[in-house]
Chain A
Amino acid sequence: MKATTTMIMVLSMVMLGTGVGQVIAADDVWRIGTILPITGPQAKNGIKNFDGIKIATDMINDAGGVLGKKIVLVSADASEPQAAASEANRLITNEKITAIIGTQSSSLSMAATVVAEQNKVFYIENEGVSGQITGRGFKYIFRTTFSGDMMATQMVDYAAQVLAPKLKKTAQDLRIAIIHEDGGFGTSTGTALQKHAKSLSLNVVVVETYSAKTADLSGLVLKLKQAKPDVLLAAQYINDSILFHRQAAELRFSTPVIGTTAGQGNPDFYSALTKEAESILAGGIPAEISIERLGAEQKAEAGEFVKRYQASHNGEYPNPTSFVGFAGAWILYKHIMPKAGGLDPEKLREAALGLDVPPGKGVLNWGIKFSPPGAPDAGQNVNASAGISQWQDGKLKLVFPKEIATAEAR
């Protein structure tokens, strides 16, 4: 008993100690919170996302900070929704944070944004795409990246506008198959795909759902093969997308596939499949920045971002997740904070809603214009755009929409 009591005392002292240690003289810097999965199953993308935020922060600080003060990140790790909510609480209550950037995944975002909204804290969602995040009428939640709906729309549009002519068919004659994993990401994307295909009165011949934690998809492949689709739209994660494409190649299912950044667009996907990955498409985060289209200032910013990323990542081109991490932070530092004159959530909100930056003049490929309160997607950056990328000779090339494409689709 005594040992337990001592342990509790020591533990609470340690916890108090770290709390005290982290308080910095708050007046000299801007303190901004980040919530990302740095450990756990989503850690890989969480860390890549944070890399982007970090580079944006370094860039702005090296250029003198915002309104003369440097930015300091107070980062929190959340691998599960409960942790995302409690970390949001901790940042707001203990650390007195008034602006947060996060959360990489939709399920984490759903939990963290509720806490931010309740406490009237300005929140930038930089990667989670679920429609629900901006579909709840929240006032303080702003999504800088595209929504799942916008991504699904482009996947369907690509099939109708690019693929159908290639196959010498009209869009309405195109036989479309949709598969999606049964988690939150797959289900919301699958629903959006069906909705958009229906609105264009396209011919969806089969829709199948499956669990991403499966060891076999041969039954699904054979079923799809029987439906004889012209194109397959797939909302999958990396693991199941590799399994699916391996078994599809083996069972000679050779229909063109449009996946997403979460699966087919992941670099691990290419290294697993190499030859079979060639010319497979992925909707989602544009794989490249279409430099030519940018204004002079944006061109310099994008160049600097790529340069810094490559310096710290063995010369690799930035990972798509680092793109959106960078974009969210950059929009806050460069476009919202200077207008708001600081980090007061009400002023940040007003400043964000007042923005109307056309594509090419914002950040990377995007413009900035947030949907007003009361809109069904309140807080969504409607000038962000998803893109369709394609594996070409081992590189992911941006092929659609035409305005930002950097390569021809094959």
Chain B
Amino acid sequence: MDLTLFVQLLISGLLLGGVYALSSIGLTLIFGVMKIVNFAHGEFLMIAMYLSFWLYHLLHVDPYLSIAVVAPALFGLGLLTYHIGVRPTLGAPHLNQIFVMVGLSIVIENAALLWWSADFRTVTLDYLRVQIVLGPYPGFGLEEVIINPGRLIAFFVGLAISVAFYFFLKLSYSGKIIRATSQDRSTALLMGIDIDKVYRLTFAVGLLLVGVAGALMIPMFTVHPFVGFEFVLVMFVVVVFGGMGSVAGAVLAGLFIGVVEVFSDFLIGPDSKQAVYFLLFIAVLVLKPSGLFGLKGEEEVERIEAIE
């Protein structure tokens, strides 16, 4: 493989990984803090993509500007979902939570099918047709390398969010109580932290992040009622791979899986790329069950009896 091809594959992989990371940050947050597997995460992504699509289609709002509407809307949806579906099951066995979230995902999927039909909808932005070309750099033996501007934006926004989020968790009071709750729920409760509030905030912020992801993804991907299903599998891999609840872990795992996917696509064949990253995934789980950046014990799910 020549150098140009290698660099091109690496860049395509990193940019794809950026999309994976971006869409998984919200999931890992909810997973890490609340120990709830949000099976409807893909469907929330779908809602965000649709919102952004309709804003563009009906009101000609640029998808990147639509974040200002989509993210708060998803935040509100998060609050609503928390009160209706999540809160009542917090003290219940895990199976109940899974049923609620899976049920929710099916309801959302079919509601989307009913309202928006099974049409495949896309947003095509003319200014994203502009190609960013690096090179050629004859000194390094490098020819032209092409970068997709849409993916580049998603990549940097994903990075920016995770950096901002890191400082939010480290420095702000809300971030501290979120971390405290994530690390030890019972002690946090004893310290007088309002766990209900933390959970509500976490769930809503998790959805806000997926709202941002949806708006950033609509210029690149087609939206249809089943689009969530296409992304949710890889999102779960990213979250577990990076260590549940670790935002930095999710970003690195997302990038890693993106690169692995593109390279195995090229070297082995596109039909086996999923097999490759799932094998790596299993290997990591065997060697380090808490994921690359997870704290030991993070994967053990504790349960509280009731939130009140």
Contact = CB atoms under 8 A, between A and B. Distances in A.
Contacts of B231: 215
B58 to A, nearest CB: 15
Interface in B131-163: 131, 146, 148
B146 to A, nearest CB: 6
Interface in A261-281: 266, 268, 271-274
A208 B270 contact: yes
A246 B129 CA distance: 9
A41 interface: yes
A44 interface: yes
Interface stretch (A84-92, A107-115, A138-146, A217-225): A217-225
B262 interface: yes
B270 A220 contact: yes
Interface string B219-253: 01110111001110010000000000000000000
A238 interface: yes
A220 B270 CA distance: 6
Nearest to B8: A222
B5 interface: yes
Contact of B270 (A42, A43, A210, A242): A210
Main secondary structure of the interface of B (DSSP, over half): helix
B271 A274 contact: no
Interface string A29-71: 0000000000111111000000000000000000000000000
A216 to B, nearest CB: 4
Interface string A205-216: 000111101111
Contacts of B271: 182, 208-211
B12 interface: yes
Interface in B61-112: 110
A43 B120 contact: no
Contacts of B273: 210, 214, 219
Interface string A222-243: 1100100000000000110011
Given A210-B271, A242-B222, A250-B131, A219 B262 contact: yes
Contacts of B230: 213-215, 239
A239 B120 contact: yes
Contact of A216 (B5, B12, B119, B122): B12
Interface string B1-29: 00001001100100010011000000000
A172 B5 CA distance: 30
B224 to A, nearest CB: 7
Contacts of A220: 265-266, 270
B263 interface: yes
A42 B222 contact: no
B158 to A, nearest CB: 14
A226 B9 CA distance: 13
A251 interface: yes
A410 B221 CA distance: 29
Nearest to A212: B230
Nearest to B264: A219
A221 to B, nearest CB: 9
A209 B229 CA distance: 21
B266 A223 contact: yes
B124 interface: yes
Given A43-B113, A272-B124, A243 B221 contact: yes
Given A215-B231, A219-B9, A250-B131, A268 B270 contact: no
A252 interface: yes
A216 B16 contact: yes
A277 to B, nearest CB: 10
A44 B222 contact: no
Nearest to B233: A213
A242 B120 contact: yes
Contacts of A274: 124
Given A222-B8, A242-B122, A250 B148 contact: yes
Interface string A152-187: 000000000000000000000000000000100000
A214 B265 CA distance: 11
B43 interface: no
A218 B274 CA distance: 15
B262 A218 contact: yes
A215 B266 contact: no
B298 interface: no
B263 to A, nearest CB: 7
Nearest to B17: A216
Nearest to B226: A41
A243 B270 CA distance: 14
Contacts of B297: none
B120 A238 contact: yes
Among A42, A213, A243, max chain B CB count under 10 A is at A213
Contacts of B270: 208-211, 214, 217, 219-220, 223
A270 to B, nearest CB: 11
B117 interface: yes
B248 to A, nearest CB: 22
Nearest to B20: A215
22 contacts: A41-B225, A44-B118, A208-B269, A209-B269, A209-B270, A211-B274, A214-B230, A215-B230, A216-B16, A216-B262, A222-B8, A222-B266, A239-B222, A239-B224, A242-B122, A250-B131, A252-B146, A268-B119, A268-B222, A271-B122, A272-B120, A272-B124
Given A247-B148, A272-B222, 9 more contacts: A40-B113, A208-B270, A209-B270, A210-B273, A214-B230, A222-B266, A243-B222, A268-B121, A273-B124
10 A-B pairs with least C-beta separation: A219-B265, A210-B270, A272-B122, A219-B266, A218-B12, A44-B118, A209-B271, A268-B120, A216-B16, A219-B262
Interface of A: 39-44, 182, 208-211, 213-220, 222-223, 226, 238-239, 242-243, 246-247, 249-252, 266, 268, 271-274
